[in-house]
Amino acid sequence: MVHLTICLPTRNRQAYCIKTIAALAEAEGQDFEVLVADNSDDPAPLAEYLTNQLDDPRFRLLAPEASVLPMVSNWERALEHARGRWIAVIGDDDYLDPRLVGIIRRYEVLYRDVDAISWECMSYNWPDNRPVPTLASIPVGQGTGPNSTDALANQLFRWSERKRRPSVGVGIYHGAIKRSLMERIKGAYGGRYFEHPNPDWESSCKVIMQARLIIHSQRPFSVLGACAASNSAANLSTAVMKQRIETFEAETKGPISLHRPEFPFSLSHGGASVCLSIAITTSWFCQTYGVNLDGFGVNFAHAAMDECAFSTNQDEYDAKVACFRTGFDQWENGRWAGHFKPAPFKPPRTINQISGIGDDRLNVREADIGASTPAEFYRFGEHAITPMDSLIAGTQVFAL
């Protein structure tokens, strides 16, 4: 029986995807599968690798369709073909430890109603995505326990933390969701697993609303990778951010537009950011499905200021401020504009050069560790955290 399906949507990043597939294939278990949903212009590289080089029955390929699919539709078809009792989605430049199946089985014993599992993630930049000195990070917390859906809803829908990004790691992207919960989501929201062009954060919204019991692990089970061709690479370059957004908009045309008059912030603006992309998704969900947004306006103004404070230079700061200011001036007739008061730009004191512990994460200079893929970094990181085999065997206590 397939207990876990790892969905791997991919588009035109075949070299990275093949390395990710090869790393997943090193796992010994037979109770997981990897479903590669190829949306590339050239189907040959992945078809050749999976059919003639790997030849592993645990790996299945969904070939590209006649025309390029919006990302949300590629995710949708991956879920439709998944066979697992549980499902996870990762990027083609990421990594997830297939031994997660053992953790899921143990959680099912300890927490009978669990239908969503989240965890902290390691983060890693591929060698081709280091235009400045970069740090990889390893969460070092070890506890596990139930997550309050009320608290998560407050963080995600109303941005109660007032940070540039809600600290909500719940959802099918780098999380494991029980198939029964995904079917419940499909029944409750338009007959689809995914609707919005930004399916990862949309999934977070829907899981929080529909899950019976969410269990969160402070111990990481996956790595968020960022290659030079990834959307995550935009975090290190405003020019890359602009190009990625243009590509994203061109390839995500569908029934739900990213441009909405009720939340008139533009991703086409040169100062657009991941913070804004998340807010566009969460506000769409709340307004579409009648979720209470009390407090969101003021909180988002503070989150926008926090985003501006993370600028690396004056030009980036000016562009972000202009983008947010334009949106706040137009949103609800400027109702929240007075709350957006970004502090003057201050150059960062350090540029990702200091290794060490901070905010329950071990940060290490990537140039010094020799890991060339997320999987290699995961194996490096495991030396600093509780061994997976100990967690699965129960020799380590699951408790916060």
Mean pLDDT for the stretch of residues 125-129: 95
Same-domain pairing of 115 and 168: yes
Cα 15 to Cα 46, 87, 188, 288, distances in angstroms: 9, 24, 38, 39
Mean pLDDT for the stretch of residues 265-286: 95
Residue 393 has pLDDT above 90, yes or no: no
Same-domain pairing of 174 and 264: no
Same-domain pairing of 64 and 136: yes
Number of domains into which the chain is organized: 2
Please tell me the predicted confidence (pLDDT) of residue 359: 80
**pLDDT tens digit sequence for 133-146:** 889 999 998 889 99
Host H or E run for residue 34: strand 32-38
Residue 137 structural domain: 4-228+364-393
User: Where residue 249 falls among pLDDT bands split at 50, 70, 90?
Assistant: low
Same-domain pairing of 160 and 13: yes
Please tell me the predicted confidence (pLDDT) of residue 257: 81
Say how far apart CA 60 and CA 44 lie, in whole Å. Answer: 15
Residue 117 has pLDDT above 60, yes or no: yes
Please tell me the predicted confidence (pLDDT) of residue 348: 79
Residue 246 has pLDDT above 80, yes or no: no
Same-domain pairing of 209 and 242: no
Mean pLDDT for the stretch of residues 253-261: 78
**pLDDT tens digit sequence for 204-241:** 999 999 999 999 999 999 999 999 987 665 554 556 55
Question: Which of 317, 328, 205 lies closest to 266, judged by CA?
Answer: 328
User: Where residue 400 falls among pLDDT bands split at 50, 70, 90?
Assistant: very low
Same-domain pairing of 372 and 302: no
Mean pLDDT for the stretch of residues 3-24: 98
- List, in sequence order, every residue forming a beta bridge with 87; answer none if it has no partner: 5, 177
Q: Are 308 and 344 in contact (CB under 8 A)?
A: no
CB atoms within 10 A of CB 381: 23
- List, in sequence order, every residue forming a beta bridge with 77; answer none if it has no partner: none
Same-domain pairing of 143 and 244: no
Residue 399 is assigned to a structural domain of this protein: no
Same-domain pairing of 185 and 304: no
Say how far apart CA 84 and CA 1 lie, in whole Å. Answer: 8
Please tell me the predicted confidence (pLDDT) of residue 218: 94
User: Where residue 244 falls among pLDDT bands split at 50, 70, 90?
Assistant: low
Of the two residues 248 and 172, the one the predictor is more confident about is: 172
In the chain, count of helices (H) and strands (E)? 13, 14
Residue 285 has pLDDT above 80, yes or no: yes
Residue 245 has pLDDT above 80, yes or no: no
User: Where residue 259 falls among pLDDT bands split at 50, 70, 90?
Assistant: confident
Residue 368 has pLDDT above 90, yes or no: no
Same-domain pairing of 88 and 181: yes
Same-domain pairing of 168 and 267: no
**pLDDT tens digit sequence for 149-170:** 999 999 999 999 999 999 998 9
Residue 29 is assigned to a structural domain of this protein: yes
**pLDDT tens digit sequence for 303-340:** 999 999 999 999 999 999 999 999 999 999 999 999 99
Question: Which of 394, 369, 395, 393 lies closest to 382, judged by CA?
Answer: 369
CATH code of 376's domain: 3.90.550.10
Residue 349 is assigned to a structural domain of this protein: no
**pLDDT tens digit sequence for 97-114:** 999 999 999 999 999 999
User: Degrees (nearest 5) of the Cα angle 114, 117, 121?
Assistant: 165
Residue 250 is assigned to a structural domain of this protein: yes
Residue 105 is assigned to a structural domain of this protein: yes
Same-domain pairing of 164 and 310: no
Please tell me the predicted confidence (pLDDT) of residue 240: 57
Say how far apart CA 96 and CA 86 lie, in whole Å. Answer: 14
Q: Using N-to-C axis directions, what is the helix angle for 274-289 and 296-309, rounded to 10°?
A: 170
What is the overall mean pLDDT for the chain?
92
**pLDDT tens digit sequence for 48-69:** 999 999 989 999 999 999 999 9
Please tell me the predicted confidence (pLDDT) of residue 226: 95
Q: Is 378 exposed, middle or buried (0-12, 13-18, 19+ CB in 10 A)?
A: buried
Checking 356-363 for CB contacts under 8 A at 24+ apart, the result is 357/140, 360/139, 360/140, 360/141, 360/218, 361/137, 361/138, 361/139, 361/140, 362/137, 362/138, 362/139, 362/140, 363/135, 363/136, 363/137, 363/138
DSSP state of 231: G
Same-domain pairing of 291 and 194: no
Please tell me the predicted confidence (pLDDT) of residue 235: 52
